[in-house]
C-alpha cells in the first residue's frame, strides 16, 4: 500500500498538470489561454490594486526578470498597465486594465463554477474540511524555503 505522503505527492502532481493552462473568458472575444503563472500574477495585481514588480517577485518567490516577462505578456495582451512609480523612477507600478479586470472576473467565476460542480456531490462538512486542510497546507508551504516549494513543481 502507498504511503499517504507518496499519495499526496502523486495527487499534487496530477493537480498541477491539470492547472498548467488557464482559459481566459472574455465576452465577445476569442478564448485565450494563459499560463498558470501569468494568471497568478494577473490575479495578485487585481487583488492588490496597485503593486510593484519587485513586490510580485517577492510574493511568488521568483526572480524579478521572471515576473517581468510574465507582466510583459499580460501588458501586451492589454490586461495589465505598467506606469512609472512617482516615488522611485526606477520602479514600475502595475494595475489591471478594465479589460483585464473583466476577463479575470469572468475566468474566476467560471473556474469557481467548475469547482462548485465537482464538489456538489460532496457532503458540506467534507468540502469545509478540504478547504481548511488545503489552506493549512498552503500556509505550511509558505513557511518553507522557495527551493523546497519549487521542487514540488518540477516533476
Phi, psi of 133 (to 5 degrees): -70, -40
Match 498541477 to its residue by C-alpha cell. Answer: 16
Q: Give every CB contact of residue 96 below 8 A, 6+ residues apart in sequence.
A: 42, 45, 46, 79, 80, 81, 104
**Residue 34's pLDDT is what?**
67
Q: What is the pLDDT of residues 5-23, one digit of tens each?
A: 898 888 888 887 776 666 6
The predicted model scores a pTM of 0.74
Is the confidence at residue 145, as pLDDT, over 70? no
Cell numbers given for 33: 489561454
Q: What is the pLDDT of residues 122-139, one digit of tens each?
A: 999 999 999 999 999 888
> What integer is the mean pLDDT of 29-46?
78
Give the chain's mean pLDDT.
Answer: 83
Amino acid at each position: 500500500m502507498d504511503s499517504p505522503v507518496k499519495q499526496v505527492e502523486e495527487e499534487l502532481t496530477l493537480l498541477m498538470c491539470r492547472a498548467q493552462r488557464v482559459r481566459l473568458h472574455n465576452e465577445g472575444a476569442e478564448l485565450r489561454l494563459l499560463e498558470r503563472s501569468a494568471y497568478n500574477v494577473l490575479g495578485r495585481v487585481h487583488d492588490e490594486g496597485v503593486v510593484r514588480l519587485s513586490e510580485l517577485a517577492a510574493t511568488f518567490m521568483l526572480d524579478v526578470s521572471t515576473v517581468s516577462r510574465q507582466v510583459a505578456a499580460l501588458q501586451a495582451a492589454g490586461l495589465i498597465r505598467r506606469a512609472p512609480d512617482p516615488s522611485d523612477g526606477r520602479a514600475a507600478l502595475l494595475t489591471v486594465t478594465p479589460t483585464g479586470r473583466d476577463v479575470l472576473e469572468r475566468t474566476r467565476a467560471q473556474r469557481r463554477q467548475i469547482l462548485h460542480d465537482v464538489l456538489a456531490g460532496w457532503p458540506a462538512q467534507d468540502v469545509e474540511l478540504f478547504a481548511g486542510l488545503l489552506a493549512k497546507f498552503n500556509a505550511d508551504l509558505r513557511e518553507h524555503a522557495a527551493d523546497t516549494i519549487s521542487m514540488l513543481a518540477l516533476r
